[in-house]
């Protein structure tokens, strides 16, 4: 449960790698939308039963180079928002399990407040650059 929009973004970043500090399922509000999902996952999650517990649960087959990876948040700028929804432009890096850089990317993360709990509702990565 994130008390602020900024913490919701930080929580979402923690679920983007293989650290498993937080469950992916516990860091989003449904419906959740993501641009660029792999073919075996939906772009929009409507039902909690469809949401994987952890994002890396299928990487062994869908993205083997991402297994064991960690994502580091480099910057986060609020671009628009109100008391119920805030969008952030983020910059982040993904590191391989051995600590070498795999990629850098930007994204727009949108978080929403439902009953005082801020969580991610949309993730739109772009400007992905392989190392």
Q: What is the mean pLDDT of residues 101-117?
A: 97
pLDDT at 58: 87
Structural domain containing residue 106: 5-130
Is 118 within 8 Å of 29 (Cβ atoms)? no
C-alpha dihedral over 36, 37, 42, 45, to 10 degrees? -80
The pLDDT-based confidence of 77 (bands split at 50, 70, 90) is: very high
Q: What is the mean pLDDT of residues 120-129?
A: 96
For the cut 80, the answer to whether the pLDDT of residue 40 exceeds it is no
- The domain total for the chain is 1
pLDDT at 8: 98
Compute the mean pLDDT over every residue in the chain, rounded to the nearest whole number: 94
Q: Which residues contact 63 (CB under 8 A, 6 or more apart)?
A: 38
| Comparison of pLDDT for 41 and 74, the residue scoring more | 74
We report the CATH number of the domain holding residue 98 as 3.10.450.50
Q: What is the mean pLDDT of residues 105-118?
A: 97
CA 6 to CA 9: how far, in whole Å?
A: 5
Burial (CB count <10 Å: 0-12, 13-18, 19+), residue 39: exposed
């Amino acid at each position: 449960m994130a008390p602020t929009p900024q913490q919701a973004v930080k929580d979402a970043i923690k679920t983007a790698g293989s650290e498993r500090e937080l469950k992916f399922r516990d860091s989003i509000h449904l419906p959740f939308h993501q641009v660029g999902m792999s073919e075996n996952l939906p772009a929009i999650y409507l039902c909690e039963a469809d949401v994987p517990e952890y994002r890396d649960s299928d990487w062994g087959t869908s993205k083997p180079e991402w297994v064991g990876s960690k994502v580091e948040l480099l910057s986060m700028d609020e671009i628009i928002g109100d008391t119920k929804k805030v969008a952030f432009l983020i910059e982040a890096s993904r590191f391989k399990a051995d600590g070498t850089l795999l990629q850098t990317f930007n994204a727009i993360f949108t978080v929403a407040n439902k009953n005082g709990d801020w969580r991610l509702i949309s993730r739109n990565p772009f400007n992905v650059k392989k190392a």
